[in-house]
């Protein structure tokens, strides 16, 4: 999934720093997992991987791809290919009525709603698939692993039919070509690393006591909160019929505002993380135009680093689309490494 601040293009640098600078890594915690791309990279290398994010849809994605080491069997369900079954489902095959369909009623232009996030057919498909997965789980027809495997396949499919330019903070005023495609679930790729990987959906402070060889931290860089940009994925994942408001149909997110997104809390947020974490090494992704300056973050790192173990690595920012290094604006991706006292 394309994700704000996603580290797809920095994975090689992250791996090189770990290989070159940190001896004997076997377990890693990814405290701000987002799209899960870094956790997946750690898992595929063979590290025991713990991933976390305070957004629920992010947790759903990681709960399938990180925690599971094999595709679930769905042996209780009595349906040989549940992904295909869900793809073929129509509302007529279910007991649901239009009023149950939250996405259809609120994010597609039907009735009084004029929000153009999804074509009505795809919006309704999202609803009946989501409702069916929930019903199977409540009726003990699928296990928790199977539940998250199917939910992750739904979350992963949504961006391919959404009428947006990348985030859900606004919808396009015309129908993009991709919205005419039928929503189609695909089976999440599950690899095994043979380890007991873990996933959490909590504030980062609740996991600082976890002991790992390495804590990888990729918190937000600026004041742009994540939830408003992904509010519809959060609602599909939770399916909690929230109160929504405004042009975009935003859910309330008072509990999901980040201390890393505020100038007056970001320094203490980093200090809490570095001071209280129980992992031996800390590797932080940040950039040189973020809320906290390079000097300020370096200062905090030095304060808690063993001897001269603090190192800063900088890389020219790589544009997502054309992968051409963007040297003109001086933006640098950074990796801060330290061994904790």
* Closer residue to ligand SAM in complex, CB, 153/258: 258
User: Least distance from C-beta 234 to ligand SAM, angstroms?
Assistant: 10
Q: Is 109 in the site for ligand SAM (CB under 6 A)?
A: no
Q: 277: how many CB neighbours lie within 10 A of its CB?
A: 24
Pull the structure tokens for residue 103. 């996405």
Segment interacting with ligand SAM, rule: CB under 6 A, options 28-36, 132-140, 169-177, 191-199: 28-36
Q: Is 6 in the site for ligand SAM (CB under 6 A)?
A: yes
Q: Could you give the CA distance from residue 129 to residue 94 in angstroms, rounded to a whole number?
A: 10
Residues 207-246 interacting with ligand SAM (rule: CB under 6 A)? 218-220, 226
Contact track, ligand SAM, 57-96, x by CB under 6 A: -x--------------------------------------
* Closer residue to ligand SAM in complex, CB, 71/275: 275
Segment interacting with ligand SAM, rule: CB under 6 A, options 3-11, 82-90, 106-114, 331-339: 3-11
Exactly one of 258, 290, 304, 337 binds ligand SAM (CB under 6 A); that residue is 258
Q: Is 38 in the site for ligand SAM (CB under 6 A)?
A: yes
* Closer residue to ligand SAM in complex, CB, 98/191: 191
* Closer residue to ligand SAM in complex, CB, 74/148: 148
Is-contact 24 213, C-beta < 8 A?
yes
Segment interacting with ligand SAM, rule: CB under 6 A, options 31-39, 73-81, 165-173, 245-253: 31-39
Secondary structure of the chain as H, E, C letters:
CCCCCCCHHHHHHHHHHHHHHCCCCCEEEECCCCCCHHHHHHHHHCCEEEEECCCHHHHHHHHHHCCCCCCCCCCCCCCCCHHHHHHHCCHHHCCCCHHHCHHHHHHCCCCCCCCCCCCHHHHHHHHHHHHHHHHHHHCCCCCHHHHHHHHHHHHHHHHHHCCCCCCCCCCCCCCCHHHHCCCCCCCCCCCCCCCCCEEECCCHHHHCCCCCCEEEECCCCCCCCCHHHHHHHHHHHHCCCCCEECCCCEECCHHHCCHHHCCCCHHHHHHHHHHHCCCCEEEEEEECCCCCCHHHHHHHHHHHECCCCCEEEEEECECCCCCCECCCCCCEEEEEEEEEC
Residues 259-278 interacting with ligand SAM (rule: CB under 6 A)? 259-260
Q: What are phi and psi of 42, to 5 degrees?
A: -65, -45
User: Least distance from C-beta 225 to ligand SAM, angstroms?
Assistant: 8
Exactly one of 3, 42, 104, 118 binds ligand SAM (CB under 6 A); that residue is 3
Residues 39-58 interacting with ligand SAM (rule: CB under 6 A)? 53-55, 58
Segment interacting with ligand SAM, rule: CB under 6 A, options 29-37, 40-48, 110-118, 168-176: 29-37
User: Least distance from C-beta 103 to ligand SAM, angstroms?
Assistant: 21
Segment interacting with ligand SAM, rule: CB under 6 A, options 27-35, 88-96, 235-243, 295-303: 27-35
Residues that bind ligand SAM (CB under 6 A): 3, 5-7, 32-35, 37-38, 53-55, 58, 203-204, 218-220, 226, 258-260
């Amino acid at each position: 999934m394309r994700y704000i601040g996603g580290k797809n293009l920095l994975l090689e640098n992250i791996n090189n720093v770990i290989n070159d600078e940190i001896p004997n890594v076997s377990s890693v915690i990814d405290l701000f997992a987002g799209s899960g791309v870094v956790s997946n990279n750690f898992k595929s290398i063979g590290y025991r991987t713990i991933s976390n994010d305070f957004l629920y849809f992010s947790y759903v994605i990681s709960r399938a791809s990180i925690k599971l080491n094999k595709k679930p069997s769905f042996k209780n369900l009595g349906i040989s290919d549940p992904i295909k079954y869900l793809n073929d489902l129509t509302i007529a095959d279910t007991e649901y009525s239009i009023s149950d369909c939250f996405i259809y009623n609120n994010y597609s232009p039907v009735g009084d709603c004029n929000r153009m996030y999804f074509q009505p057919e795809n919006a309704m498909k999202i609803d009946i698939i989501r409702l069916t997965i929930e019903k199977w789980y409540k009726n003990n027809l699928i296990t928790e692993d199977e539940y998250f495997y199917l939910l992750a396949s739904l979350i992963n499919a949504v961006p391919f039919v959404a009428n947006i330019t990348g985030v859900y903070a606004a919808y396009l005023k015309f129908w993009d070509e991709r919205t005419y495609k039928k929503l189609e679930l695909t089976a999440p790729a599950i690899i095994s690393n043979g380890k007991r990987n873990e996933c959490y959906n909590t504030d980062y402070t609740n996991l600082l006591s976890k002991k790992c060889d390495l804590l990888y931290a990729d918190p937000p860089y600026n004041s742009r909160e994540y939830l408003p940009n992904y509010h519809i994925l959060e609602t599909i994942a939770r399916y909690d019929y929230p109160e929504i408001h405004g042009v975009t149909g935003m859910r309330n997110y008072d509990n999901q505002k980040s201390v890393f997104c505020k100038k007056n809390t970001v320094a203490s947020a980093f200090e809490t993380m570095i001071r209280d974490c129980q992992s031996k090494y800390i590797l932080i992704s940040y950039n040189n135009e973020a809320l906290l300056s390079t000097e300020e973050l370096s200062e905090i790192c030095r304060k808690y680093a063993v001897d001269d173990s603090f190192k800063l690595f900088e890389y020219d920012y790589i544009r997502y689309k054309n992968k051409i290094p963007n040297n003109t604006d001086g933006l640098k991706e950074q990796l801060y490494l330290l061994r904790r006292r």
